[in-house]
A and B are shown apart, each in its own frame.
Chain A
C-alpha cells in the first residue's frame, strides 16, 4: 500500500479544471461561455441543500438507492480470499450506474432552464439512462449513436425511441462511440443556447470530469456508510472497470485518502500486443481528445486510434483526466484483462453467485480470477458491479458454446 497522504486529492481539480497536467478545457470558443455557465450552475446547485435533497429523492424513489453491498461467499471461496463484496449498481433502474449521473444532470438542465438535452452513447446504456430521465422530466432528448453501434445494439435503439428520444445516427469516421461524442459536441456548438449536453462519463471539458465524478461518488460514499453501519471489515482493495472511468471514480473517490488499494481494470481486448484493445491508461500517450488533456490511444502522427473491446462500454480510445492523474501519482493501479478473461469472469460470477454481470464489470471479476494469487486469504475486496448482464447475454451466447 503506497502512502497517500502527500496528495490532496479532495481539492482536485483546481479552479481551471486541471488534475495536475491533465483535464482543462480544450474546446471551440463557441462553447467556452456555456462551460463557464454550466460550472457556475453546478457549483450553485452543489451548495444548495434543496438541490441535494431533490437529487436524493429521485435517487431513492426512482433509481432505487441505496444499492446493496452483497457479500459474495461462493465467489470469495472460488478466489481464495476472505470476503468479496459486490456494490450492486446493477440493481438500479435502467440496469447500471449511469442513472446516478443522468439524474443529477437532468435536474441541472431544469435548473438552467434549458429546453433540450443531447447525449452520446456507445452500446446504448447511457443513451437509455438519458432518455429515461428526460421522459421523467418531459425534456426533449436527442441521442447520438454510431450507425455501426445502432446495428449492434438494435434493442437499445428501440428502448430509447420508446422513451420518446430521437436517436441520431452518426455516419462519420468509425461510426462508433468516439464519433458519437464528436457529433454531439458539433450539435452542442450549434445549439448551445438552449441545449444541455449530458456527457455519460468523466471525460470531456471541465466541469464534466468533476461534475460526473461528484454525481457518481454516491457509489463510494454509500459503500463507506454500509461498511460502517454493517460493521464490515474495512476493504483491503477496491476493484472496478475503467472505460471512460465513471463507475470506478465513483467508487474510488471517497476512498482516495483511505488506506486501501485501488485497482482500475481496463479492456485489453484481443490482447495489448495485437493493437486491438481499449487499454488507454496502460499504453496510451498524453493527448487532447474531446475537450480535455488525458491519455489517448493514438498513432505516431497523433491521430486517434480505434479502440476494441468485447464490451461496448469500455470501447473508447480516451479516458477521464482524473484517472490519468491518479495513475501518474501512483494512487490507483491500472491493469487490463482480455475479452477472454472477462468472459471467464462473466461465467464465474453467474455460476457462483447467481448474478449475471454486464461485460464491463465482468472485467473486474476476470481480473480477480486471473490474479487471485496476488491477494491474501485474509483480504476483503469490494468490486463495483456497475451493470447487469441482460444486454450482453445474446452477444455472449454467440461467443461461448455452453
Chain B
C-alpha cells in the first residue's frame, strides 16, 4: 500500500513543486466548517491538511491557536468526533490528512485503540509537539504497524546529533520549526535555508517548514530550500475573524495567495 503522504511528495517532486500544508484547529469554528474547508483547500491546490486536536494546555502554541483550542473545547470537540470528521472527508477525497495533537488526549484514548480507529478513518500522519523521538519509540513502532506516519520535529536549537536522530525516526516528512518559539505570526523569520539543507543531507525524507509563516511572501521564501511550507496561525486567525464566510470565498481570499506564491 502506497501511503498518501509519500505519494503526494513523490508527485510533487515530479512536478518540481513544493507542498502547501495548511493547519486548522479541528472544531473551530465547527467540524462541519472544517469539512467544507478541507474540500475547498484541495480545490485551491493545498497538498496536505493538518487538523489540530484541541487541548487544555497547549504549551507549544501562541495566543491564536490557544484561543482556537479553547473555543473548540467549549464546543465539545473530542478525538472521537475528529476521527468522524476524517472519515467523512475520506469518502470524497484522497488528500493526505494529519492530526496534530498533544500527547495526552491520544494517550488517554489509548494509543492502540486510537491507531486502529485512525487508520480506519483514513488518517495518514500524526504530529505530537510534545513527543520527541527519545520518548516515541513505542509509539512510532505502533503507528507504523497501522500504516500511519509519525512525524517528528526539528528546531533551530537542535544539534547535529538530534538532527540525525529525527532523520532516522521520522515518518512521512520532517517538520522543521523555523523559529525558536511557539506557533504564531512573525514579521521577520530567520534564514532557515542553510539548516534545512543540512537536515536534507541527513534524511531521505522531505522537510516541511512551519511556525511563524504567515504571509505568501514568507511562504515563497521558506519553500526554496524546503519541500513544503506549513501555514497555521495565519489561517486560524482569519477563520476566527470570519467564521461565517463560506468555505469557497474564504479560500479565495486567504488560501489562494499562498497557493499562488507556491506556483499552484
Contact = CB atoms under 8 A, between A and B. Distances in A.
Nearest to B108: A302
Best-surrounded residue of A186, A289, A291 (most CB of chain B within 10 A): A186
B4 to A, nearest CB: 25
A17 to B, nearest CB: 9
A193 B180 contact: yes
A286 B103 CA distance: 12
Nearest to A31: B157
B178 to A, nearest CB: 11
B132 interface: yes
Interface in B7-51: none
B57 A190 contact: no
Contact of B180 (A25, A30, A296): A30
Contact of B157 (A182, A193, A285): A193
Contact of B182 (A24, A186, A305): A186
Contacts of A189: 59-60, 180-182
A366 B196 CA distance: 58
A178 B107 contact: no
B129 interface: yes
A375 interface: no
A25 B135 contact: yes
Contacts of B73: 303
B146 interface: no
B162 A32 contact: yes
B185 interface: no
A220 B229 CA distance: 53
B142 interface: no
Given A301-B108, A302-B104, A302-B108, A185 B166 contact: no
Interface string A26-37: 111111111000
Given A28-B129, A189-B182, A304-B57, A172 B153 contact: no
Interface string B175-194: 00100111000000000000
A291 to B, nearest CB: 7
A229 B132 CA distance: 48
A29 B104 contact: no
A156 to B, nearest CB: 24
B155 A298 contact: no
A190 B180 contact: yes
B179 to A, nearest CB: 8
A123 B151 CA distance: 39
Contacts of B157: 29-34, 192-193
Contacts of A303: 55-56, 73, 105
Interface residues of B, number: 42
B66 interface: yes
B153 A26 contact: no
Given A189-B181, A190-B180, A28 B104 contact: no
Given A34-B157, A288-B103, A29 B57 contact: no
A33 B153 CA distance: 13
Interface string B153-170: 111111100100010000
B158 A29 contact: yes
B107 to A, nearest CB: 6
Nearest to B66: A172
B195 interface: no
A25 B134 contact: yes
Contact of B130 (A179, A192, A288, A305): A288
B240 interface: no
Interface in B118-141: 129-132, 134-135
A179 B177 CA distance: 23
Contacts of B58: 182
B9 to A, nearest CB: 21
- Give the 4 A-B residue pairs with the shortest CB-CB distance, closest first: A302-B108, A302-B105, A190-B181, A30-B155
20 contacts: A26-B131, A26-B132, A27-B132, A28-B155, A29-B152, A32-B132, A33-B158, A33-B159, A33-B162, A172-B63, A172-B66, A173-B56, A186-B60, A186-B62, A189-B60, A287-B104, A288-B107, A301-B78, A302-B105, A303-B73
Given A26-B103, A32-B157, 12 more contacts: A25-B135, A32-B134, A32-B158, A32-B162, A33-B162, A173-B56, A179-B57, A182-B58, A189-B180, A289-B57, A296-B104, A302-B108
